[in-house]
Amino acid sequence: MTHPPKSTAAPPPAGPGMAAAPGIPRQPAHPAPAGPPAPSARRTAFAEGVDRLRGAATTEPGRLRLIGAVLALLVVAFGAVTAWQASERAAAADDVLHRSQPLSSGAADIYRSLADANTAASSGFLAGGQETAASRDRYEKDIRTAAAGLVTAAANAEPGSASETTIARLNKLLPEYKGLIERARTYNRQGYPVGGAYLRYANEKMQKEMLPAAEDLYTKENQRLAADYGDATPYPWVAIALGVLALAALGWAQHRTYRRTNRVLNHGLVAASAATTIALLWLVVGHAVARSELNGSYDHGIRSLTVLHDARIASLKARGNENLSLVARGAETITVDGQTYDAYYYDFDKDMTTLGKGLTQAAKLADDQGGSAPVKSAEGNMAVWKQRHTAARTEDENGNYQQALDKVIGAKGATGECFDSVDRNLAQAIGHEQDEFARAAGDGRDAMAGLPVGAAVLAVLGAAGAVFGIGRRLSEYR
């Protein structure tokens, strides 16, 4: 029995209200229209720039442009940092030579002038109504020197600083001290014992208020000097590192060019390397010389000057205490470890010990005959001074006041001669060390002279050479 063949015709589409044939998906009568395409994410200018750079770097001309830009940037950065660091160190070295060290010496002169004025006042008091014109003139000169030093220090002090406060205090105390000295002289000429009390009161104001303030000012100026040395001597490591990096990049660029072209030299890159090398050597050698000279100016100048100033101040204080011991005549005493001493003789012994140690140290620091000879002479003067002082003290303790006075302020063979010799020799030694400092510090500053401008010029030439050398290679692709 035969079956009729199966129809292969597609079933008619289902009309409205009719179900679709089994297994056949239902088609919508009216398809929905397609919507607008989704907007793409917006790219930033930086991302586009990176893409362009990446695309340029895939070609040799693009890579050459990138290499040229990096080389020029490195050379210019090296020159700029070199000029900056060299300028800072040169300015600090100039401050050491012309600002902080003169101010430090000026503060030491203020201290010395005040101490010497006090000594001259006590010496004139011991002479009574017979005070010499030389003693009076010395006192007045010291007061003027101290006042002028305070004016200079005030002009260079930073507003609101501790130094400004100290200077203002000294300016207030100086007239008060002068007034006490004038009263002491007036009563002394009239023969009133109260003159000695005024002198001791003036000395107390000097020793406990004025000299500590002057010492504080001296310490602060020394700190400023040390800070300037600290700014002038450190190695410019950032500039040196950039210089080495720039040379390494230039060397790599020349090696790369050689490998691709078999050309040994690229004139532009060679010129850039030469300019960078000169700037780097100038920086390293110039700073090494400057550092060496500045360190020498500190070791053989500042250290010696500090010791000599301290020794000179100790001698002035010793002389003042020696004079005041005769003015007080035992009225001032001090008890140490259960024993009572004349206060001024006790302080004299301490000052002479300080003076001896200072002279010994100064002799060790002196590095030539010009510095050591006056120190040795001062040591000899000090030894004679101690012998004469012992004789004067013996006379004073035995009640021979006039004999003791003659051995201290007499015209011949007195301790005053020894003190003057010590002071004169120390002044000579200070002058010599000051010259040594100025020479070494000046050489240190001059070693960096022209480096900031020279480094900038060489950097511009080096960058131009790098751009020119890379430009020659780019011209081969046109």
Total-model pTM: 0.75
Q: Can you tell me the distance from the alpha carbon of 232 to that of 214, in angstroms, rounded to the nearest whole number?
A: 27
What contacts 74, CB < 8 A, 6 or more positions away?
Answer: 242, 245, 246, 249
| DSSP assignment of 188-222 | HHTT-THHHHHHHHHHHHIIIIIHHHHHHHHHHHH
What values do phi and psi take at 334, rounded to 5?
A: -145, 145
For residue 146, pLDDT beyond 50:
yes
What values do phi and psi take at 130, rounded to 5?
A: -100, 25
Placement of tokens 């100290």 in the chain: 166
Convert the pLDDT of each residue in 69-83 to its tens digit: 999 999 999 999 999
- Residue 6 tokens, joined: 């199966």
Convert the pLDDT of each residue in 98-140 to its tens digit: 888 888 999 999 999 998 898 888 888 877 666 678 888 989 9
Convert the pLDDT of each residue in 391-406 to its tens digit: 999 998 888 988 988 8
For residue 21, pLDDT beyond 70:
no
Convert the pLDDT of each residue in 173-199 to its tens digit: 999 999 999 998 888 888 787 888 888
